């Protein structure tokens, strides 16, 4: 049996990554998604164990100390991290798993698991990016400007990824992501056992 | 504009590669296929310029001397080779091109163009391979044995390829090949210009 594969998906605010992942999640119920652990308080409408496990600061720091996180970061006083165990369990049981993470987290994971396959979701153009970031309409110009800077900072690091997928039309982007995910299963390292199967018998 | 990509497809006798390529060719009229040059005489039913360009030994040797071949080999006194120019023309005009070639030819091309994407077509099992090789029914046991040895020799070099596709059910194998071909267009090196496009404007 082949090992499961780990896919990292990143994309700036305005790339439409969240909607893409939501649809992927609905369409591919067999695909595993990594659940982040965070110390921030649960918000209204959020469900424990859906996108986040809400844990105490003590638990988080103990996971960190025991090397139980693939990546972690701190954001306005709260910790966020990707627990290592569910990812390793998926890999060893032959299941693929998707980790949604930012460019910094992706770099941390890559260092620990160089074999991860990383996909960066891009907005189709600067104009569309700007339009998406100011879409909600209620934001001040300064806030939109700040979001744009953050998005461009992420796009500057898109070069660290294996695949770049442009999210212009949503359905097309979904198809493109699944094409990449499907194609990776034909890579030599995943198919080596087939070669051995024939040669061992011959 | 991105450059075109070069795909190498190999597979032993009994892998069903020829049927696969025929269907690919019919379904994707826009996909370019490399036409080999050979010094062997044209056979009944063959058309000049379809799968082969039939040329004189003098022309072949002059191409070879002028470094106009990406790979070449000799088989029972006849020369076979892949002309360089049509491949380079396709690449520079942004068109993808498929080269069907054996494991030796593939290795020669890889040395000259390390960026080629190579796909090896495998039979699903040793049993199926044996069955396919003796299918025509009229062959002596010795001939089937010889074909099997040659096929296994090629399979031993499948490790040199980027992707391994098993040809069990034909339609599935076609889908798998097109998945690989499509996914490759999302690779970073092909999408770099999109990143630059956004960053240059910002």
Q: pLDDT band at A179, cuts 50/70/90?
A: very high
Instruction: Name the B residues in 128-187 with CB < 8 Å from any A CB.
Output: 129, 148, 152, 155-156, 158-159, 161-166, 176, 179-180, 182-184, 186-187
Q: State yes or no: pLDDT of A201 exceeds 80.
A: yes
ipTM entry: 0.85
Q: At what angle do helices B126-133 and B141-155 cross, to 10 degrees?
A: 140
Q: Give the tens place of pLDDT for each residue, A67-80.
A: 999 999 998 899 99
Average pLDDT over residues A132-155: 87
What's the 3-state SS for chain A? CCCCCEEEEECCCCCCHHHHHHHHHHHCCCCEECCEEECCCCCCCCCECCCEEECCHHHHHHHHHCCCEEEEEEECCEEEEEEHHHHHHHHHCCCCEEEECCHHHHHHHHHHCCCCEEEEEECCCHHHHHHHHCCCCCCCHHHHHHHHHHHHHHHCCHHHCCEEEECCCHHHHHHHHHHHHHHHHHEHHHHHHHHHHHHHHC
pTM: 0.88
Phi, psi of B164 (to 5 degrees): -120, 125
Residue B137 scores a pLDDT above 80 = no
Please name the helix (run of DSSP H) or strand (run of DSSP E) that holds residue B54, with its range, or none. strand B52-54
Instruction: Compute the nearest-CA separation of A83 from chain B (Å).
Output: 28
Asked if A198 lies within 8 A of B125 by C-beta distance, the reply is yes
Q: Which residue has the tokens 């987290």?
A: A105
Asked if B202 and A166 come within 8 Å (Cβ–Cβ), the reply is no
Contact B179 A184 (CB under 8 A): no
């Amino acid at each position: 049996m082949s090992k499961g594969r780990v896919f990292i998906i990143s994309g700036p605010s305005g790339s439409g990554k969240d909607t893409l992942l939501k649809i992927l999640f609905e369409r591919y119920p067999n695909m595993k998604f990594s659940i982040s652990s965070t110390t921030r308080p649960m918000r209204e409408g959020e469900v424990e164990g859906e996108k986040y496990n809400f844990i105490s600061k003590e638990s988080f720091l103990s996971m960190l100390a025991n090397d139980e996180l693939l990546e972690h970061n701190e954001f306005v006083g709260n910790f966020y991290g990707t627990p290592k165990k569910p990812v390793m369990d998926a890999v060893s049981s032959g299941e693929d798993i998707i980790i949604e993470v930012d460019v910094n987290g992706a770099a941390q994971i890559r260092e620990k698991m160089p074999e991860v396959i990383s996909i960066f979701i891009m907005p189709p153009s600067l104009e569309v990016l700007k339009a998406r970031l100011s879409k909600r309409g209620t934001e001040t110009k300064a806030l939109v400007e700040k979001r744009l800077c953050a998005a461009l900072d992420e796009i500057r690091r898109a070069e660290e990824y294996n695949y770049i997928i442009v999210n212009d039309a949503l359905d097309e982007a979904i198809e493109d992501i699944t094409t990449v995910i499907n194609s990776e299963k034909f890579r030599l390292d995943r198919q080596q056992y087939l070669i051995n199967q024939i040669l061992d018998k011959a």
